[in-house]
Amino acid sequence: MDWLGRAKLEFHASSTPISFETQDGATKTLVDIAREATPACQLNPLLFNGHLQTCYTAVMKDAPDVHYKRRVFEAEHSGYSGSFAVDFYVPPESAGAEKDESLPPRTTYFSEEELAGLGSDDERPMLVVLHGLSGGSHEVYLRHAIAPLLESGKWEACVVNSRGCAKSKITTGILYNARATWDTRQVVKWLRKTYPNRPLFGLGFSLGACILTNYLGEEGSNCQLKAAVACANPWNLELSSNALKRTFIGHNLYSRVLGTAMKKLAETHKTEIEKFTDLDLEKISKLTFLYEFDREVQCAAWGYPTENAYYRDASSVDSVMAIRIPYLAINSTDDPISSSEALPIGEIKTNPYTVMCTTSLGGHLGWFEFGGGRWHSAPVANFMNYMAFEAKLGSTKLKANGTGSKYHAGAEFDPMRRKMVVPLE
């Protein structure tokens, strides 16, 4: 056990990380910046292991008030039709006094007049945030992380709610999963058009961190985000699922709680699911564990033959090698949900654009400090502020032979195909 809640910090990165010129004329590597952005991890000594840190999230609901206004998007991709909701941060004085019981707390819809007036030429940095499994913009861990940036008055933010989450509506049979990057892609394109001068940054939590990492890998060098942070990414979903099933508490607490959350989401949208899909709601209602839900729903909805095939396809352990923007991953090695055995430390070390910070305490999106604060908010805010205001991102330098390698016989590994590409004769 770490002494009195003092967690050990470790940084994992390429031996030849990218470097930047800074506003004061210095040159710093990505690892230098990550280390400077990360304060000592002093957590609540009474929550001395990952289980206590994780379970305390069900108790400690205090968080900074963050107000939003919602815009509903219609998917532009014909293959992923349907609507999804994006919640945009607004200052409290602009939020309005009326409550909308059909939406999460502190959230209302934009008026037609406000929607027509969206857009500006300002240069304020903007966060694109992705929440965890079955969550939304209202989540406590999310508000703790983004509040320091928003309260500074220098940042804007929006949260992309997964379909059906945060009291959003399901309008087609296209649901969401850990591979669902298409709504994020559409939002980024819309932001780039609507706010052409705003630098965009990505922030993801748990399943949202997995989706964000997959998105960044898919975009590669064409990515419109300037930098990104991923917190408590489960990384290898098959390994993390197996780790949950291996222990009594993992199987009977965490997998059960996560499975129940997904069943509740399905029940909430019962009418729409019956209308737009062939899913067996009666059978779903009798499921217990998350992997059972994935077997019954994700396989049927997406055509995966098994839940493990889905987990392998949706994992982001390979995607991280294709990222070409500054990227910081933050994980706790005592996280009982995002298992430490799934951490892609070797893969992180192959990519000079990525760095991982691990803490020896913190649980799953816990990181509770004494008094109720959340440690992860500090490295998130510090890293984002440095990337937005200190680093000259256009000056990014890459040492020779720092991205990828050629293998024998002309074969080359493509991280986004998760396959070795062998040239034909």
Which is catalytic among the residues 168, 364, 376, 377? 364
Residue whose C-alpha is closest to residue 326's, from 389, 383, 262: 383
Tell me, yes or no, if 335 is annotated catalytic: yes
Tell me, yes or no, if 251 is annotated catalytic: no
Residue whose C-alpha is closest to residue 175's, from 293, 312, 320: 293
Which is catalytic among the residues 138, 315, 335, 338? 335
Instruction: Provide the residue type at 221 as one letter.
Output: S
Report the b/e string of 285-305 with b at 16+ CB within 10 A: eebebbbbbbbbbbbebbebe
Report yes or no: 228 and 325 within 8 Å, Cβ to Cβ.
Answer: yes
The neighbouring-strand residues paired with 128 are 158, 202
**Spatial distance between the Cα atoms of 7 and 50, rounded to a whole number of angstroms:** 11
**Spatial distance between the Cα atoms of 67 and 206, rounded to a whole number of angstroms:** 22
Tell me, yes or no, if 364 is annotated catalytic: yes
**Spatial distance between the Cα atoms of 101 and 59, rounded to a whole number of angstroms:** 23
Residues catalogued as catalytic: 206, 335, 364
